[in-house]
Structure formats: structure tokens, C-alpha cells
Amino acid sequence: MGQANGRKSIFITGAASGMGLETARLFAGKGWFVGGYDVNEAGLKALESEIGAENCIVSRLDVTDKKAFDATVADFGKATGGKMDILFNNAGIGAGGLFEQMAFEDNLRVVQVNFIGVLNGIHAALPLLKATENALCFTTSSSSATYGMPGIAVYSATKHAVKGLTEALSIEFRLIGVRAADVLPGLIDTPILPEGAAANAPKEGMFRAIPPVEVAKVVWEAYGSDKLHWYVPPELVELDKAAGNTPELVREQLASTGPIAALIKVKEENKKA
């Protein structure tokens, strides 16, 4: 297990692949001490080998297990002198399908990982964040937090919750000298996507496929900024504005495009028959 030895430190969940992995690589390359956590132990070992055991501490972590999260943060603190410059609550899972057709247990698992896991992380890490000047509590939300997305309704709801939590804590945490912000990624080419989704994505526009390193760059930039919401790509802010200003229009647009629209059309035609 490495030691920070005075270096700035970042604690990353979901660090074995995708956005978490790219963030670990970027920060390690800039001289930071990295805590990498995931349920994918093979991926963590590969990360440790890549950036050097002296530059990190890695271990398995199920973010839904509060006791395990508390113990993991305590171990991280032992390696950093009780400091944590950035908490990057990034771990998340996806489950798609129509709500009425999905197993309820699958929806609960999405809630447990994507929202309860975030609550666990913030609560566990808060003492270290409070003890660190200019600390940042940073969380992965989603473009689906701009408007509730059909086909991923519960996933979208968890990301709305993350966004709202971040907004509230960005004010509350001023009392303790900690900043809070989030990133709202669009279509990021990571293992969470269904097979072929990135390849079939538009080549241009806000829902083009984005490499995960672009999110890592945003985490780095956020540390030196007081900005609240980070959109990847930046054009997604327009969707957020539209959702707030004209939610009914966005609803009709979503209902008239994509696979859900096809299902609605079939249902309407069956009614006429």
C-alpha cells in the first residue's frame, strides 16, 4: 500500500474502468495520490500495476455497504494523513427497459448503487474532506438528470437525485469549507453502455459518443473552479435549460423519437384496429 507523503489525494469509486479509470490515470500522471475502488478486483490490480503501487491504494468496495465504505475511507485516511482533496463518487450501474416490464429488484439495485452508494460515500468521507483545505465533493450525475428519460426511468431518477443532492450540499457545505459539484455526462463510451451503443451513436451533436477521458479532464478542471454543474459535452446545458423552461415540449419530443415512440405508435394503431 502506497503513502501520499504530502501529495494531494483523490478517492475514486468505479475506478477499474471507464471514467473512473481515466480519472485515476490523469491524476496519477499529475502527481496525485490515488485511492481506487471498485467491485472489479482484476481491473484494480491492473490500475495499481499501471500507475505504481507507491502512488495509490486500491481495494474492493461495494458502495452499497456502508460499513465497508467507512472502513475503506479509514484506510485511505491512514495513507493520506487524514486528508482527502477530492471525493469522486463515480460508481454506477445501468438497467434499461420499460418500468412495467423490469424486475423490481433490478430497479432497487440501481437505486442502491447510484444513489445510496453516493450517500454512503459522502457521509463516510466528510471528516477527511472537512480536514482538507479546498476539498471537493464531486459526483457523477448524468445527462438523464436534465429530463426523465424513458427506457431508463429509475436510472434517470437516481441521477436527478444526485443532482439535487449536489445543489443542496454545495450550499450546506459552505459551513464546513467543502465544495460540492457534479458532472452530467452524455453518451460516454464505457462498459455501462449496451453493446454497440457507442458505434451506433450520432457522429455529431450532444448525444455523440464521448471518450471517458473527457470526463476525467472535467474532474481535474473542477478542482480549481467553483462551477456547480459540468456538462460533457457542454451542449447538454441546452437540454437542461429546455427541460426547465418547456418540460411539456421536451416530453413530446422524447415521445415522438426513438424506440419508445415506435412502441407508442404500435399501441395507438392497435387501438384503431
Residue with cell 459526483: 139
Please write down the long-range contacts of 157-162, taking CB distance under 8 Å and 24 or more positions apart: 157/111, 158/110, 158/111, 158/114, 158/115, 159/114, 159/184, 161/115, 162/114, 162/115, 162/118
Tell me which of 37, 155, 223, 231 is the catalytic residue: 155
Residues 146-157 as b or e (16 or more Cβ within 10 Å = b): bbbbbbbbbbbb
Phi and psi angles of residue 139, each rounded to the nearest 5 degrees, phi first: -135, 145
Q: Tell me, what DSSP letter sits at residue 103?
A: -
H or E element that contains 258: helix 258-272
Cis peptide before 185 (omega within 30 of 0): no
For this structure, is 155 an active site residue? Answer: yes
Contact of 44 with 15, CB cutoff 8 Å: yes
**Which of the residues are catalytic?**
155
